[in-house]
A and B are shown apart, each in its own frame.
Chain A
């Protein structure tokens, strides 16, 4: 039931709404019509006025334009606008109220006019009809007068007597619908009275007495009436219609009204009307029409006297006006709607009502004149509507509708303005909030930077002390503790560095360098960095850089290296599959929280390493185009075909989401436009635990707080990966990964670099920055040929890559037998043979044979045999003996430099290795000899220390204790080669001084290095902004000072050293 009710209610509401809509639509349309009409009528009727009005409209619209203009002008100032639109709103509302009132007035006046017109036409119609009917009756009465003059006076004896007359009039009554009766009075002179009375048989009676005595009894005998007094003449009624038979013998001249009437009638010769009076018998209002009957035919222009003389008698018709009008009105339609009054207005000031109730109503009235053929008397008809005028609903609804619409528009305007104001306020508020948030962000970064700096300072102390402690006499346990502590400290410092990086990235302060660098050397470095750890864990590390990658690239090697290090570190941390009990580790990790890095690097993983399987981490670098071309080909490569033979996550999946691959179809994004840009794709593939599926979406989120079991496993990955992602983004690249739990993960990223090979003759400074690591390929191995025996193509490819870097031509074979046949081939001369340990061990039976056959080859041409041992077996001696033949074992990971060293050793060549781990700079101490260096610091102690430090390297040091002095000293021309500048100095700080010095410099550029205790992130940029070249942190170490300054000094010319 209730459901039905609800349904019904819904229907009703819907209906109401629909009605409302209809109403609004109709109102709008009528308005439009009416307004249009008004406009037209106004224009037509008023002419000039209409034009004025239109002009007015134009002005208004012009004003509104102006207002708009003002609005835009004032849009800046809020208050003005606010007050302004309030005023506008009020003006709008007032204006529309006026308009709607005017419309109401106009429309109701229109309605009134129309009503008036209707009334007038109705009234006139009635008056005309009345007049017509009256005239008809009058004509008939006149005809009767002629009848009487003909048959009564014209014949002797008379052809008419009372009876005849009565009957005749009775029968012709229909001809005179307005008369209630007719009577004929004859003119009797006094001299004839007696004879007349005798003849008629009655005396002439007075009328006024009859009038005075209201008739009580209808059949009042005429004899009761007084005889008429003696008069000059009499006009006794002789004939009368039956209806008025009582007037027979009454002297018409004795009645006041009648007398006057009779006199006027005979004088004028026309029908004459009396004023309305109460009729004798019926007591209804009536008038008497009197016609004179003349003896002879009178000419139409007879004088009144002639007329009087020739008068024979008078015919009177009694008009019952009331019934007359009533009858008339009944014949007409819409008789109910109007009230009709008929007045005799002969006396203008006292109109005599002839018909109609005398309702005093000052409403609408129309007056029509009635012409009843009597020039002496005036009559008029007054008409009124019975009902009051109806409410002008149309006008009301229209004006209210307009008002409502205007108010609605006003409201909308108001709401809009309010909304705008609110939005603007919100906007300002937001802006304020953004400002505050930004300030907070800056503060946060500053705080992070400061805190990390503050932590780093004592940490350096701790590490230094530990380092010193290591050199003291310690037993094994103590040494182990110290090493552990040192490792933890280092891990903490690196964590802090990462946090700093994150802070920098978040504040957008990180900027990439663009220097020339050797990507392969960086790869070697990374490999070297992780080889120790990988070795411990029994993971095979390998690097492969495609030939398509140029020798030299321009980009930020430090950041690139950081990304790779992060990914590699991540892989190496999780790149093992612990099979044993993890409880100890997890407990420790949970306990230590922030120290999980330390815990990891503490070698706790080492504990687990005994449970681990053999795995690998494979780092590859390709140009993107190469990968894109091969991406389809590689699909069928089996999962077995990996470095360690373990299955890995698919690399193609890891980069499947990259835009660069997705927009492949349209055009190669990099190929035509940027021949100088190299887009590299780097992937790190490991055979670790993989990332649990639920954690995969959050891998790149910084500081992610996930399920503890995940953060336990990926303790170190959170921030490092997010930094990597940001850095990759900065290098216009993308990063992605694919990970299968218990199979492994593959991280892939792309990065865009400039080709550095094309313009290798860059400035020396840049070249110097590149560490002189593997830059030099030893020329001694050029044009040699080597044979690599490896059953796994992937691994063989890596080996070939590394060996080829030495300029050696490489051939690959998959097993020893093939190798043998290659060697035996006379056409080929292999200088060296690299045999993969796996191949060697697997085919131990052949290996002996293999060695033998090699030895058989002629002396001097016999190739040197190398065994490529992976880390697991490298615990053996460096050279394994197989029979009489010594073969060198090269431990993986393969690196060109190491390879070169091994080859040199094996070939008895120069064993000198440029990378001896010593500070190369120390051996070049004479860089500074004879250099003139200015040190500026307001602190005497600092000055002395710094000066002493630089003097130690043979530099000539000049000190200045204020910025002003420094400026004076550095006014060109000067002899200084470099300048160290304290930043915080009284009077003029280091920045200011530097700026002035730079301003003075016309040609040449003296390296100015800041000295500051604040090593917060902003400082370097600040230094550069003010024209400094770098900075050293205080307290300085001699080495640091030296290194920094020597970076900026040209290497000493031969003449100098």
Chain B
């Protein structure tokens, strides 16, 4: 099972790089721990839900921020939600951006908000790509007949 072990090693490395680069944090590990036989695709489900939410929120915020008079309260509540969900799934980078974002909202700084929005978008895209490749890898391993190593 040379291929399998290689894949598994690849997965481990990839995951480690994700942690290292701060895309995800402990919470993601927690999330992975929650996945078991009864819910084999739990992480993916949650993550895709998150992305869905995220896109919706980003669009909403973009709309609000485009307006002449920006309702920062609304933006703030969106950011709050985004921050909550990102910390729930352990999307550390997005969460960090959200923290900065919140500060700008409180300061009613439109420029900063827009910059943060862009950053969120960017991080979101990156995370999405990364996680997708992660899931692909996992699926490959499962397809190859192996099991995804449990996280410590």
- Give residues in A with beta carbon < 8 Å to B: 461, 464-465, 468, 471, 937-942, 944-946, 948-949, 951-952, 982, 984, 986, 1013, 1034-1038
Contacts and interface: CB of A to CB of B under 8 A. Distances in A.
A945 B31 contact: yes
A1054 B92 CA distance: 43
B114 to A, nearest CB: 24
A944 B45 contact: yes
A1035 B80 contact: no
6 contacts: A461-B92, A464-B26, A468-B152, A949-B34, A1013-B87, A1034-B87
A1034 B53 CA distance: 18
Given A1013-B84, A1035-B27, A1035-B90, A941 B33 contact: no
Question: Which 5 pairs from chain A and chain B are nearest by CB?
Answer: A941-B85, A948-B34, A1035-B87, A939-B84, A942-B88
Contact of B30 (A468, A942, A949): A949
A983 to B, nearest CB: 11
B49 A940 contact: yes
Contacts of A461: 25-26, 92
Given A984-B80, A1013-B87, A1035-B88, A944 B26 contact: no
A706 B123 CA distance: 48
B30 A1037 contact: yes
B127 to A, nearest CB: 13
A570 to B, nearest CB: 34
A1038 B27 CA distance: 10
Nearest to B47: A941
A951 B33 CA distance: 12
Contacts of A468: 19, 152
Interface of B: 19, 25-27, 30-31, 33-34, 36, 39, 42, 45-46, 49-50, 53, 77, 80-81, 83-85, 87-90, 92, 152
A1034 B84 contact: yes
Given A941-B53, A948-B39, A1038 B87 contact: no
Contacts of B80: 984
A716 B31 CA distance: 39
Nearest to A461: B25
A946 B88 CA distance: 9
A1045 to B, nearest CB: 16
A296 B87 CA distance: 163
Which of A461, A938, A944, A984 counts the most B-chain CB atoms under 10 A from its CB?
Answer: A944
Contacts of A982: 84
A890 B129 CA distance: 59
A1038 B26 contact: no
Contacts of A1038: 30, 33-34
B37 to A, nearest CB: 12
Nearest to A1011: B84
Contacts of A944: 45-46, 49
B77 A945 contact: no
A725 to B, nearest CB: 36
A1034 B46 CA distance: 17
Contact of A941 (B30, B34, B84): B84
Given A942-B88, A1035-B88, 14 more contacts: A461-B25, A461-B92, A464-B26, A465-B19, A939-B81, A939-B85, A940-B85, A941-B50, A945-B88, A946-B88, A1034-B84, A1034-B87, A1034-B88, A1037-B27
Contacts of B84: 937, 939, 941-942, 982, 1013, 1034
Contacts of A1035: 27, 30, 87-88, 90
Contacts of A939: 53, 81, 84-85, 88
Given A464-B26, A948-B34, A942 B152 contact: no
B46 A471 contact: no
B90 A952 contact: no
Contacts of B89: 941, 945
Nearest to A942: B88
Contacts of B53: 939-941
B26 A941 contact: no
B77 A986 contact: yes
